[in-house]
Chains A and B, each alone.
Chain A
Amino acid sequence: MRIIKLFTLLLLIWSAGQSESTTADESLWARESAFLLQRGRIEKGVFQPLTYGFSENLEFSTHALAFFVMPNLTAKWSHQNVGDWYFASTHGLIYPTPLLRLISREGTGGIISPEFDIPHLFGISNGILVSRRFQSELITLKAAIDVGLKTGKLDERTTIDLPLVYPRLQPFYTGCGLRFGFDIRHQFTSKIDVLTDADWFVFPGSDEGFAWEHKTLVAYHSRRNRFSLGYKLVYGEYPFGKAWHLIAPIFDYQRAWGK
C-alpha cells in the first residue's frame, strides 16, 4: 500500500508542473485502439504483449513470456479511414494446450484436476476496432468473435472458475464467444492519460452466458517508458453463479524500442 501511495503522490507532484499540449501521438502506446505502432517500433510490457510495428498498416503482437507454453500471435491490420474514423481489424491464433496440461497436475500448483485429459485446443479470434479522436479523448469501439477448436472431448469440469480466465477459455467449451466493448483514453497532458474501458463477453448456447469487465488505468508515459496503475472490475456468470470481483491494484511497466 505504501508503494501505491508513493506512486500516486509522485504522479500528483509531477503532473502539477505540467502545462504541455494535451495532444498525443496515437502511434505510441496504441494497443487499445485502431491506430498502429510506427513501423519498426517495439513495445513490451510486463503484462502487456510484445507488439511490433511491422509496416504502415500491419502490426504483430504476442504474449512473449507465455509463448513457449501458450503459443499465440495477433495481427492488427489497419484499413481505410472514413472521415475521422479509423478502422483496424485483428486476427489472432492461440494454442493454450501446453499451458493447460502444465497446470493439470497433482499437488501444489494443480489448477486443473489431473484426472482429465486436455485435447489440443486452437483459438481463433477475429475482431474490428474503430477509433476517433475528440480533442483530448480517443474513443475506440471494438467487437470480436472467438472460435474454439479442439481435437477431442474437453470435460466441462476442467473449467478454471476465476475472473478474467473463465470467459477467455469459455469458447473452447461452447465453440464460440462474442466480445464487444469500448475504450476511452483521455489525455490530461502529453505524458499522462487515463484509460477506461468496458468489455462484454457473451457465449451463445452456454448456461454461463456472460462476463463484463471494466478497467481504469492511470498512465504516465514518455516515448520509451510507460507506467500504468489502476483497477479492474469484473462481473460474470460462472458455474457457481454470478459474482463480482475487484482486482486492485493492477499495474504494468512497458518499454519501447525503435521509432
Chain B
Amino acid sequence: MNRIKMIVGLFVLLCLAGCDGLVTKFESEEKGILYKADHSIDPPTSADTLTVMTWNIRFGARRLGWFGDACGDRVILSEDEVMLGLEGIANKIWELQPDILFLEEVDVESKRTGYIDQMQWLLDHTYFNYGAYASMWQAQYVPSEGLGRINTGNAILSRWKITDAKRIQLALRSDQDALTKYFYLRRNLLIAKIAIPGLDNFYGACIHAEAFSTDDTKKKHVEQCVEELTKITDDDGLFILGGDFNLLPPGSDSTDFCDEDGCSDEHFHGKNDDPLHKDGSNYTPEITWLQPMYDNFSCAVPLAEFQSDQLHHFTHTTIHPDGYWNRTLDYLFANVDFIAGSDSTHQEAIPLSDHCPVTAKWRVSK
C-alpha cells in the first residue's frame, strides 16, 4: 500500500507541476531578456550626441509575400532567404551607424526564420555590444498555416551596457474569439536602462503596438505608453523611444488603405461588403489616437514638419514586392528635444523590409 501511495503521490505531484502551455503568457511587468555580443568593441567613453534609429525589420523577410502581412503565400522561409535579409539589415546598420537601435519584429526562435536567433546574430554582426529583448509572440506551436514554433518581439541594441530591462504587457485585443486570442500576439513596451557616459538615468524604450484591432486596443497602447514614459520623466529620467505604433500621425492626408492593402480576392467599402473595412487598414477612426504622444513628448519628426511633406516621411507599405511607401507608422519620441532637422527617413532601404528605418540625433544633456 505504501508503495502505491508513494507512486500515486509522485504522479499527482507531476500532474500538479503540469506541462508548459502551448503559448507563453506574460505578467503585467517582467524582466526583459538581456543579450551580449560575442565580440567586445569598446564603446565611446564620452557621448555628446547620440544617433538613434527605429526599424521594423520584418524578421528579415525583406519584401517577400508572407501570408500574414501581405497577400502572399509564403510561410516558412529558407535559411538562405533569412540570411540575405539579415545581411542587408546589418549592412544598413553599419552604414547609418546608430548608437542605439530600436527594432521590431525580431525573431529569436521561430520556425518561419529557420530558428535563427536574429537578436544574437545582429549583435554579433554589427558593432553593438548589448541588447535587450521582449517577446510579443511566443508559442510552442501555432497550428495555423504551418507556422509552428514562434518567438518574435521588439529589441533595443546599444553600444553601451544595458544594465536592466523590463517588459510591460500592453492591453490585449477584445475583438477576438477566445481561441484566436489564446494563440495571438501579446504586445509589449520594452524599457531598458542604458549606461551612457555622463547620464545616470537614461532609458531606451521600444514599442510595437497593435496593428489589426478593430476596437480601441491601439488607443490603450498609446495611453499605457504615455503613462510609463511619464513615470520616467517624473523620476527625472531621460528617455528615447522608438517604435512602430501602427497609427498614422494626426493630420495625415490619407487615412483609409483598404483598397491598397486588399488582396485580389477581397473587396471593401461596398454596400454589401462584410467587413466594410480591412482589419488594420482603416485609420480614420484612430487618426487622433497618437496625439497624446505629441502632446507629452518631442517627436523626431514634429507634426508640422510631417504635415508639410508627408510623402517624404512615409515609412511603411503593404504592397509587395514592388509597392512604395504610402503611410507613416514608425516614430522616435523623447522627453528632451531631438536636434532640429537631424531626422532622416531612410526610404532607400525599401528592399529590406516593409518598414524603413528612421534616424535622428539627440544631444546628450549634461
Contact = CB atoms under 8 A, between A and B. Distances in A.
Interface stretch (B138-146, B314-322, B355-363): B138-146
B15 A4 contact: yes
A40 interface: no
A109 B145 CA distance: 7
Interface string A216-259: 10100000000001110000000111000111110000000000
A55 interface: no
A176 B78 CA distance: 24
A188 B146 CA distance: 45
A3 to B, nearest CB: 11
Contact of B3 (A8, A104, A188, A249): A188
Interface of B: 1, 3-5, 7-8, 11-12, 14-20, 67, 73-76, 78, 109, 111, 115, 140-141, 143-149
Interface residues of A, number: 42
A239 B111 CA distance: 8
Interface of A: 1, 4-5, 8, 11-12, 15-16, 104-116, 157-158, 160-162, 188, 192, 194, 216, 218, 229-231, 239-241, 245-249
A166 to B, nearest CB: 11
Contacts of B15: 1, 4, 231, 248-249
Identify whether the interface residues of A are mostly helix, strand, loop, or mixed.
mixed
A246 B76 CA distance: 27
A4 B13 CA distance: 11
A113 B18 contact: no
Contacts of A218: 7-8, 11
A230 B10 CA distance: 10
Given A111-B143, A114-B145, A240-B109, 12 more contacts: A4-B12, A4-B15, A107-B144, A107-B145, A110-B143, A112-B146, A113-B147, A115-B75, A161-B148, A241-B109, A245-B20, A246-B14
Contact of B141 (A12, A162, A231): A162
Contact of B143 (A15, A104, A108, A229): A108
A115 B18 contact: no
B146 A114 contact: yes
Contacts of A11: 4, 8
A239 B115 contact: yes
A14 to B, nearest CB: 10
Contacts of B7: 194, 216, 218
Nearest to B9: A8
A34 B78 CA distance: 45
Which of B5, B8, B16, B146 neighbours the largest number of chain A CB atoms within 10 Å of its CB?
Answer: B146
Contacts of A241: 109, 115
Nearest to A109: B143
A113 to B, nearest CB: 3
A110 B4 contact: no
